[in-house]
């Protein structure tokens, strides 16, 4: 990606942090940037898993992949995913690049209000500048869908910022599979938001990566995100590399059973990740210390 593109995004982020409203920018025409953004939004981060509009049968309505409206009525709060298409009235079409970036990496809307769970803001704070620019560039190309999401999220607890605005984040080292895998699993695909011990609602415990984690509720009942540490009994320490990759990309456990939602539903999407990204995530999972819970 060109320095010009990164510089433009960085400049708008600085302006936003200073409190001014930067000018709207035309969608990027950089094919490499746009393809990277598409890959991140549609595949690695699976943004449509939350932001898609679904029918009564749970399937995504045609053309409504990011039009919002999904309700998360679980774990003591009610959250509603917004429309993030480029519609100017019901989506984010009026937002600046910096405002879109701030919503992803800092969890703030243009009006200053905070975005609550299940938006994985804490993980997205580690998304690199290059990838953040790519995600914004791709979202600029999403066709506008007029779909007003009238219901608002409601939390029985006060939302708190995750920290000051993120200044700059470099790409992970290209020659370090474990570091790249950690970046993908923690920051981009936010796997560890669920598959870690929990400090509080939606906040993982840095001391418990890979431990039995978040309890996910839905039509399937209540399912705790399983231990994916290297523990041979409680985790996946005895699984072969092929079994781990099959779980990630096919939604099948080592014993042949289908994984419970939402993991099983996302596996076909993660199957489209590059082989290198899949192998780097595997390398990271293999590096996790054993967790006895």
Give residue 182's pLDDT: 98
Same domain, 89 and 34: yes
Residue 252: inside a domain: yes
Same domain, 121 and 14: yes
Same domain, 32 and 127: yes
Q: Of 84, 111, 139, which closes a domain? A: 139
pTM: 0.88
Same domain, 131 and 212: no
Same domain, 217 and 127: no
Q: Which two tokens stand for residue 95?
A: 């937002």
Question: Does residue 221 surpass a pLDDT of 80?
Answer: no
Alpha helices in the chain (DSSP H): 3-17, 31-38, 48-51, 97-105, 121-124, 129-139, 177-182, 241-250, 263-270, 275-287
Same domain, 65 and 192: no
Same domain, 135 and 210: no
Confidence of residue 3 (pLDDT cuts 50, 70, 90): very low
Residues 232-243 have pLDDT tens digits of: 999 999 999 999
| Mean per-residue pLDDT over the chain, rounded | 89
Question: Does residue 246 surpass a pLDDT of 70?
Answer: yes
Same domain, 203 and 126: no
Confidence of residue 26 (pLDDT cuts 50, 70, 90): low
Q: Number of folded domains in the chain? A: 2
Confidence of residue 9 (pLDDT cuts 50, 70, 90): very low
Residue 149: inside a domain: no
Same domain, 236 and 134: no
Same domain, 131 and 181: no
Which long-range CB contacts under 8 A does 46-52 form with residues at least 24 apart? 46/189, 46/266, 46/269, 46/270, 47/84, 49/262, 49/265, 49/266, 49/269, 50/81, 50/118, 50/119, 51/81, 51/82, 51/83, 51/84
Question: Does residue 194 surpass a pLDDT of 70?
Answer: yes
Which of 57-66, 82-91, 201-210 comes out lowest in average pLDDT? Answer: 201-210
């Amino acid at each position: 990606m060109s320095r010009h593109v990164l510089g433009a995004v960085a400049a708008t982020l600085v302006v936003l942090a200073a409190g001014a409203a930067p000018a709207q920018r035309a969608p990027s025409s950089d094919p490499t940037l746009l393809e990277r953004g598409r890959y991140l939004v549609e595949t690695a981060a699976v943004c449509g898993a939350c932001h898609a509009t679904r029918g009564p049968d749970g399937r995504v309505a045609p053309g409504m992949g990011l039009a919002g409206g999904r309700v998360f009525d679980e774990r003591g709060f009610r959250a509603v995913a917004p429309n993030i298409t480029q519609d100017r009235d019901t989506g984010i079409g009026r937002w600046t690049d910096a405002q879109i970036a701030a919503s992803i990496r800092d969890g703030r809307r243009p009006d200053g209000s905070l975005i609550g769970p299940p938006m994985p803001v804490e993980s997205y704070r580690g998304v690199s500048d290059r990838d953040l620019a790519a995600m914004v560039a791709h979202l600029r190309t999403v066709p506008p869908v007029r779909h007003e999401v009238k219901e608002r999220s409601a939390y029985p607890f006060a939302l708190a910022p995750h920290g000051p605005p993120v200044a700059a984040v470099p790409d992970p080292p290209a020659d370090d599979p474990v570091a790249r895998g950690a970046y993908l699993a923690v920051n981009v695909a936010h796997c560890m938001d669920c598959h870690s011990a929990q400090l509080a609602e939606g906040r993982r415990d840095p001391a418990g990566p890979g431990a039995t984690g978040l309890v996910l509720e839905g039509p399937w009942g209540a399912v705790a995100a399983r231990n994916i540490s290297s523990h041979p009994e409680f985790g996946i320490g005895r699984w072969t590399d092929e079994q781990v990759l099959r779980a990630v990309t096919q939604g099948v456990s080592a014993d042949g059973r289908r994984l419970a939602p939402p993991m099983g539903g996302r596996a076909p999407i993660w199957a489209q990740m590059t082989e290198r990204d899949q192998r780097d995530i595997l390398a990271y999972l293999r590096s996790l210390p054993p967790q006895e819970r």
